[in-house]
Amino acid sequence: MKTVKSLVLLALIGASVVACKKGEDDPFLSLRTRDARISGEWKLESYSSKDIQILTYNLQADTIYYESFDFDGDNEIYYYVDTASSDYESIEVDYTMTIEKDGSYTQTTDYLYGQSVTSGNWWWSNDGKNKTKISFDDSDHAYEVRELRNDKLVITRNYSNEITVDSLQSNLLRSYTEKRSYSKVK
């Protein structure tokens, strides 16, 4: 009987310190907080983005612009198409991002021809309790944290907007989607 009471007490204590599922693909239960899980060094494993823009002038489609980036863990493939030109490029690249508990981050991109380093601040974009959106200094739009495990991070963002200039009878429609998957280095 004493063992059963001890197990029940242990379960109640454990439930009070366990972080529950927040993101769509999060683990059901985790013994680590979202702050603890997101902190550390992350290696980008896959990345995909699509940016479509349509410019109309005098109510007719004038320019159509499509850009995409795909990354498979080793190579980044870039596509660009508009009404006047197109481009395709594939380069070997390595991305890492270190997220610190103090709210700072550093993103490092290693190319064959050099390195790019971006540093700044990150924060949870929605209320402190949910912690399902994350923002970085270098981005205008927050990322949805779809999956956050001790060793895996998946973030996405989707947005669209329309800009109208009535005096020119022109419109710019834009649709953007992005998904990034990381694995924890340490």
Nearest to 30 by CA among 151, 185, 146, 123: 151
Contact 99, 145 (CB under 8 A): no
Confidence of residue 7 (pLDDT cuts 50, 70, 90): very low
Q: Is 12 helix (H, G, I), strand (E, B) or coil?
A: helix
Nearest to 124 by CA among 50, 35, 61, 39: 35
Report the C-alpha gap between 125 and 134 in whole angstroms.
Answer: 5
- Residue 87's contacts (CB-CB under 8 Å, 6 or more residues apart) are 78, 79, 80, 81
How many percent of the chain have pLDDT more than 70?
78
Burial of 16 (0-12, 13-18, 19+ CB in 10 A): exposed
The residue extents of the domains of the chain are: 2-184
pLDDT tens, residue by residue, 36-69: 899 999 999 999 999 998 887 776 667 788 899 9
Q: DSSP letter at 11?
A: H
pLDDT for 19 equals: 47
Q: Which amino acid is at 116?
A: S
pLDDT for 140 equals: 79
pLDDT for 17 equals: 42
Q: Is 40 helix (H, G, I), strand (E, B) or coil?
A: strand
Report the C-alpha gap between 75 and 71 in whole angstroms.
Answer: 6
Contact 183, 45 (CB under 8 A): yes
Q: DSSP letter at 16?
A: H
pLDDT for 164 equals: 82
| Residue written as token pair 């200094």 | 137
How many percent of the chain have pLDDT more than 90?
42
pLDDT for 5 equals: 52
pLDDT tens, residue by residue, 136-164: 998 878 999 999 989 999 999 998 988 88
